[in-house]
Amino acid sequence: MVQSRVEDLSPVVKKVSVELAPDHVKAALDTAFTSVSRTVKLKGYRQGHVPRRLVERYFGDDVKKDVAQKLVTGSIHEALAEHKLDPVAPPRVENGAVESGQPFKYTATVEVRPKVEPKDYQGLVVPRAEFAVDDKQVEERIEEMRSEQSMFVPIEGRDVAELGDYATCEYEGFVDGVPLRGAKREGVLLEVVPGSMLENKAEGLLGARVGETRELGVTFPADYAVEELRGKDARFQTVVKGLKKRETPALDDAFVQDLGAVLADGTPAKTLSDLRAKLRAEMEQQKKERAEGEQREKLLEALVEKNPVEAPPALVERNVDAMLQGMLEGFMRRGLDPRQLGLNVDRMRDELRQRALLEVKGYLLLEAIAEKEKLDASEEDVEKHFEKMAAELKQPADKLKAAFRKQDSLESLKARLRQDKALAFLLAKANFT
């Protein structure tokens, strides 16, 4: 009934040609036309008594399209099973014509996982993960926090701008003498230091009196977000309305208590020692995660270099989708609406694709190594994972496990844990630099 053959387009892309016998096609058409004739209504005929020739004349094209779809659906799985093909994405089908008394032919392009025989994966050269944090880095972070908590207060007894002051200004921008759209603003705070007005800095206001107007120049960079302004020179008529200074809170226990920082055990930080210990732990964790991420990427690069493997395009695009979704969710967690950021999603996808390709190749190799080394995710591994998640999310482990079962995600979780074991195995056998 179903005849099929496979052509290798690449190690991960197969072309499956399928042919169904004429009698099977005729039976499918007969069934479809009979079903339509029972329900269709035409003037001069009772429902269910419209002649087949009229049904074919008025509804033939739609019926044949529907039959073609059903013939593909009913045969593609049989053809894939015959050739032991396990697609990583829905096949892309090109239908032939459906005609009674003729065979029905179609082709399906199928993406599959490549056959991977990993080799030379022990002794890979990778960088050592360093994540120590010194006292200087902790103090720099505390100074950043003090700066974030600083306030701007009016300068009294002086009306001339000095270096380091903050000038409250109103301004209007012009390009070639023409007002610049969107460049008329009030209540802008410009720091009187070297730098560009595009960064809210204006050394050109040094020595200006409150009430004085000065013209400040700006050259828009070649990669400026607004294309028509790239490389253009602009002049800003700037009026100094007031002077302010930044007051930074004193570095004492009161500053720590005003921050409302909370220690790992849930108690509030009360002293500078508490704050330093909290920051050191957080910074070490962040640095550790970054270092381990870089180490993982370098290990995968070394593994792929030793084991060139082709990645199914569908898996790469799926990974790009996941990475992009993670970035957008990160924006939202920081209170930013991605729709308002003017993001070039196509360019973002292009920038992510190379990393996604490495991840997919690494995933295929880690799976093969796990199989070769007989590494698997036990029930105990799964339980430990849920216990860790429960502690991080402050939710019952049983509730998280039930959610995974509901979404049929347990197998994908086990696959991920299996890859983690393979990764740990490679790191245990690696040469660190």
pLDDT by residue (tens digit) across 214-223? 999 999 998 8
How far apart (Å, rounded) are the C-alpha atoms in residues 409 and 163?
Answer: 60
Does 245 have pLDDT greater than 90?
yes
Does 5 have pLDDT greater than 80?
yes
Q: What is the mean pLDDT of residues 378-386?
A: 89
Q: What is the mean pLDDT of residues 227-250?
A: 93
DSSP-assigned states of every residue in 101-170: TS-EEEEEEEEBPPP----S-TT-EE--------HHHHHHHHHHHHHHT-EEEE--S--B--TT-EEEEE
Percent of the chain with pLDDT over 90: 67
Pairwise pLDDT comparison (129 vs 360), residue with the higher score: 360
Angle at 422 between CA 421 and CA 425, to 5 degrees: 85
Pair 184, 172: CB distance under 8 Å? yes
How far apart (Å, rounded) are the C-alpha atoms in residues 58 and 47?
Answer: 15
Give the pLDDT score at 65: 93
Q: What is the mean pLDDT of residues 157-164?
A: 95
CB atoms within 10 A of CB 354: 11
Q: How confident is the model at residue 179 (pLDDT cuts 50, 70, 90)?
A: very high
Pair 19, 8: CB distance under 8 Å? no
- Average confidence score pLDDT of the chain: 91
Give the pLDDT score at 15: 96
What Å distances lie between residue 296 and 301, 362, 422, CA to CA? 9, 10, 12
Topology of the domain comprising 2-111:
Alpha-Beta Plaits (3.30.70)
Closest to 236 (Cα-Cα) out of 188, 280, 271? 188
Q: Which of 87-101, 358-372, 389-403 has the highest mean pLDDT?
A: 358-372
Domain 151-247 top-level CATH class: alpha beta
Pair 110, 85: CB distance under 8 Å? yes
Tell me which of 65-79, 306-320, 392-406 is least confident.
392-406
**Residue 261, both tokens:** 């920082």
Q: How confident is the model at residue 12 (pLDDT cuts 50, 70, 90)?
A: very high
How far apart (Å, rounded) are the C-alpha atoms in residues 29 and 73?
Answer: 15
**Residue 215, both tokens:** 């013209």
Does 47 have pLDDT greater than 90?
no
Give the pLDDT score at 67: 93
Q: What is the pTM of this model?
A: 0.69
Taking each helix axis as running N to C, give the angle between helix 135-148 and helix 272-306, from 0 to 180 degrees, rounded to the nearest 10. 110
367's enclosing H/E stretch is helix 345-372
Q: What is the mean pLDDT of residues 334-360?
A: 86
Pairwise pLDDT comparison (408 vs 256), residue with the higher score: 256
Who's near 312: CB < 8 A, 6+ residues apart?
A: 12, 13, 88, 89, 111, 112, 113, 114, 360
Q: How confident is the model at residue 101 (pLDDT cuts 50, 70, 90)?
A: confident
**Residue 192, both tokens:** 């009187």
Q: What is the mean pLDDT of residues 172-187?
A: 91
Where are the chain's structural domains?
Answer: 2-111, 151-247
Does 399 have pLDDT greater than 90?
no
How far apart (Å, rounded) are the C-alpha atoms in residues 352 and 349?
Answer: 5
Who's near 74: CB < 8 A, 6+ residues apart?
A: none
**Residue 397, both tokens:** 């482990």
Tell me which of 48-57, 393-402, 416-425 is least confident.
48-57
